Structure 1
Amino acid sequence: MPADSGAIRIPDWPLPKGVRSAFTLRHGGYSSGPYDSFNLGDHVGDDPEAVAKNRQHLGELLNLPGEPQWLRQVHGTEILQIPTDSPVCSDAAADGAVTHVAGPVLAVLTADCLPVLACSRDGRHLGAFHAGWRGLLAGILEKGVAALGVPGKEVLIYLGPAIGPEAFAVGPELRAAFLAEDPTAASAFRQGQGDRWWADIYQLARQRLQRVAVTAIYGGDRCTFSDGDFFSYRRDGVTGRMASLLWRE
């Protein structure tokens, strides 16, 4: 699969034959200013023409079978069934999508939140989920695994680039909310200065997935905040968005 090493990374996880995945970096596109340069988000204030060129370039780099299913992400738990619920490129308000057919390209946009890609071991059921802390707390991953329609033990997961545990400072109320749902979440928080805590969003996601019997979990080792190859909302404020994508040929 063709890919520009300056713009694209191919995740390392044991996908079945015919299933493809990728995530983008911030380089190699047409945007300027704080969106420099491969911004794929059309909701962050970037020049719409530049975003359109970046999205076209993405399709060319990966030889995608069609336009990705871009979602209007709202930090909720709504998950679309593609293509049943909505046509491709509907800009539907949802934070996840699943498909059980070949062809649709699932995509989530992030710039510190956690992108989660899911695939059944037989390659027939795919999912992509936007998991910020609000979505994690509300159960986006448990709902996403259920939407795949297969047992958790049959699901492969890739945790894409997100803010790392050395950079994600949160208040005590957020920690308390997670512990109220699951006391074992305490292991995902480390005491910071004053009343602040360092949160490990990767560990929180793993815990949530393990609760629904998912154990084949890969990735989870890149920090968008500390690595300048990525867009980071917490680091930069006004910034672009990367895409994490999954599809079956």
Structure 2
Amino acid sequence: MYRADWFVPKGVKFAFTERTGGVSQPPFDSLNLGTHVGDQLPLVLQNRQFLLQQLSLSSEPAWLEQVHGTEVVDLDIDSNRTADASLCRTTNHTCVIMTADCLPVLICDKSATQVAAVHAGWRGLCDGIIEKVIAQFDASPNELCVYLGPCIGVNAFEVGDEVRQRFIDKHQQTESFFIPRADKYLADLQGIARYRAQLMGVNNIYNLPHCTFELKDRYFSYRREPVTGRMASLIWLEK
């Protein structure tokens, strides 16, 4: 799922899943793709198999054990799967990350020779995971396309001043992406990600302005429901 008016290079495929269309039961209803959230494993595996069929994938996506860090794995040479981003330059793998409020970021180059999937929670985003992935591409930043998927929106993502200050300590201009509310702040994850990618020199940035917290019927949200499922964001090179 993505907007038809986005530029997507020929040879690149990607998808952001929603919560519907699977077999998991409440509170994981229904297309839960996470095996670590308490759902019945056979149902999750059915959901994953359904995803393979729907997207016509030739092999299982490279599911990661995400830890809210900045580790990036090159799927073509590295067997490690404890990371928050993956990258590949062949048709042998599908990059995938899971979210339920955090920001999914998919990246490719215009020549369709390399792709990456990034799990950008606020910690990883603040610590530079997007910049780290962009730096690993064998292409200049102005030759990249960045796609920002559904995440918790600015009207719902409330954080404390310590979170705001961590971002400002990295880039003073980031302050504009935090809106005061009582003794807290509302944070714009997509806005920060766009700004940080632009600082790296990326000009082709697209986003789905969907709030996972507000759109209960379409998306899982950990902040709304701590026991819930996970969506997947996938990107791969066509064979």
When normalised by structure 2's length, the TM-score is 0.96
Return the alpha-carbon distance in structure 2 between the equivalents of residues 197 and 206 of structure 1. 19
8 A Cα contact 1:161 1:222, kept in partner: yes
8 A Cα contact 1:28 1:37, kept in partner: yes
User: Following TM superposition, by how much is the alpha carbon of 1:151 offset from its aligned partner in structure 2, in angstroms?
Assistant: 1.2
8 A Cα contact 1:18 1:248, kept in partner: yes
User: Following TM superposition, by how much is the alpha carbon of 1:11 offset from its aligned partner in structure 2, in angstroms?
Assistant: 4.5
Count of matched residue pairs: 236
Paired residue secondary structure (2:206): strand
Return the alpha-carbon distance in structure 1 between the equivalents of residues 95 and 42 of structure 2. 22
Paired residue secondary structure (2:50): helix
Q: Which residue of 2 aligns with 1:15?
A: 8
Q: Deviations over 1:123-166 (max 9, x none)?
A: 10101000000001111000010112221111100000100000
User: Following TM superposition, by how much is the alpha carbon of 1:102 offset from its aligned partner in structure 2, in angstroms?
Assistant: 1.8
User: Following TM superposition, by how much is the alpha carbon of 1:53 offset from its aligned partner in structure 2, in angstroms?
Assistant: 0.3
8 A Cα contact 2:104 2:117, kept in partner: yes
Return the alpha-carbon distance in structure 2 between the equivalents of residues 11 and 59 of structure 1. 21
Return the alpha-carbon distance in structure 1 between the equivalents of residues 54 and 2 of structure 2. 12
8 A Cα contact 1:26 1:39, kept in partner: yes
What does residue range 1-249 of structure 1 map to in structure 2 within 5 Å? 9-12=1-4, 13-86=6-79, 92-193=81-182, 195-228=183-216, 229-249=218-238
Identity of aligned residues (%): 46
8 A Cα contact 2:154 2:187, kept in partner: yes
Paired residue secondary structure (2:31): coil
User: Following TM superposition, by how much is the alpha carbon of 1:103 offset from its aligned partner in structure 2, in angstroms?
Assistant: 3.3
8 A Cα contact 2:109 2:139, kept in partner: yes
Return the alpha-carbon distance in structure 2 between the equivalents of residues 127 and 149 of structure 1. 12
Q: What RMSD in Å do the two structures reach over aligned CA positions?
A: 1.0
Return the alpha-carbon distance in structure 1 between the equivalents of residues 158 and 135 of structure 2. 30
User: Following TM superposition, by how much is the alpha carbon of 1:23 offset from its aligned partner in structure 2, in angstroms?
Assistant: 1.1
Gaps of 5+ in 1: 1-8
Return the alpha-carbon distance in structure 1 between the equivalents of residues 179 and 60 of structure 2. 41
Q: Deviations over 1:80-130 (max 9, x none)?
A: 1012112xxx6x110000111123111010000000000001010101000
When normalised by structure 1's length, the TM-score is 0.93
Paired residue secondary structure (1:148): coil
Runs of 4+ with deviation above 6 angstroms: none
Give the letter aligned to residue 125 of structure 2: L
Paired residue secondary structure (1:116): strand
Give the letter aligned to residue 215 of structure 2: D
User: Following TM superposition, by how much is the alpha carbon of 1:30 offset from its aligned partner in structure 2, in angstroms?
Assistant: 0.8
Gaps of 5+ in 2: none
